[in-house]
């Protein structure tokens, strides 16, 4: 018995000893060795984890919008009220519809080139950027290109109200908290003065009126939408009479 106890104590595996009473006077005491399990219990690593619940999604920086503007509505005022009510910025990408009696400022060299067009005009393109209240405002305004009933195409910066002559649909995107930066940066090694000294290449050819530009005039500053009486109204070209048949 002493040998068994010595062997059990020298064994590296932990154990528990139990002593059972003898059933007869001739039987001695017996020892039962119970081994303890090692390591993790089976299935301890496969316990179900609690699900991750997202209570609030992150707000996207830009949201697309399709704006429907009803008939006889000032488009400029409606867009401005929409941005003020939601305290958000808006970038108009394009639109379609019909507007009436448009007053636009032509991007020409003269400062007071404001023209009013009476009648109905189809919107070819329209763009604008309305900044939130905490961002310095710009003087770009609404830029629009229109097609008249006789095929004339005019465009410029909208001055005053812009009334719809039917349902207008605008494709736009709202944005919040834009980053405002002034360029060029103060630590920029490039000097803006050197860039200003490089004049753009001059355009060669005829002017808007069909005649060459006067001497000394910078032809590169010719406006894209320059209002001329011959440009706004495009009269249909007269039909040319066919040549007489050759004599036989």
All domains in the chain, ordered by first residue = 62-175 (3.30.1330.80)
Sorted by sequence, the CB contacts under 8 Å of residue 207 that are 6+ apart come out as 213, 219, 222
d(CA 192, CA 199): 13
**Could you tell me the pTM of the whole model?**
0.53
Nearest one of 85, 82, 75, 87 to 143, comparing CA atoms: 75
pLDDT at 227: 43
**Tens digits of per-residue pLDDT, 37-46?**
777 777 666 6
pLDDT at 235: 42
**Tens digits of per-residue pLDDT, 158-187?**
999 999 999 999 999 998 877 778 888 777
Joined together, the tokens standing for residue 136 give 């310095």
Low-confidence ranges of the chain (pLDDT < 50): 1-2, 5-13, 15, 192, 199, 201-237
pLDDT at 169: 97
pLDDT at 103: 94
Pairing mode of beta strands 143-147, 62-69: unpaired
pLDDT at 142: 94
């Amino acid at each position: 018995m002493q040998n068994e106890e010595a062997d059990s104590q020298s064994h590296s595996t932990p154990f528990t000893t139990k002593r059972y009473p003898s059933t007869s006077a001739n039987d001695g005491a017996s020892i039962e060795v119970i081994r303890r399990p090692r390591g993790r219990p089976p299935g301890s690593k496969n316990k179900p984890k609690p699900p991750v619940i997202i209570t609030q999604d992150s707000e996207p920086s830009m949201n697309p919008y399709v704006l429907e503007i009803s008939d006889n509505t000032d488009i400029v005022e409606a867009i401005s009220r929409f941005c003020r009510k939601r305290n958000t910025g808006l970038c108009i990408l394009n639109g379609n519809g019909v507007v009436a009696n448009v007053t636009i400022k032509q991007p020409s060299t003269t400062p007071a080139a404001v023209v009013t067009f009476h009648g109905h005009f189809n919107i070819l393109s329209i763009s604008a950027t309305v900044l939130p209240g905490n961002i310095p405002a710009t003087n770009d305004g609404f830029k629009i290109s229109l097609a008249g009933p006789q095929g004339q195409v005019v465009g410029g910066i909208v001055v005053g109200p812009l009334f719809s002559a039917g349902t207008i649909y605008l494709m736009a995107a709202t944005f919040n908290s834009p980053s405002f930066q002034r360029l060029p940066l103060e630590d920029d090694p490039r000097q803006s003065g050197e860039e200003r000294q490089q004049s753009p290449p001059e355009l060669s050819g005829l002017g808007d009126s069909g005649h060459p530009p006067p001497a000394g005039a910078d032809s590169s500053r010719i406006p894209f939408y320059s209002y001329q009486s011959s440009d706004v109204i495009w009269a249909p070209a007269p039909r040319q009479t066919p040549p007489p048949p050759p004599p036989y």
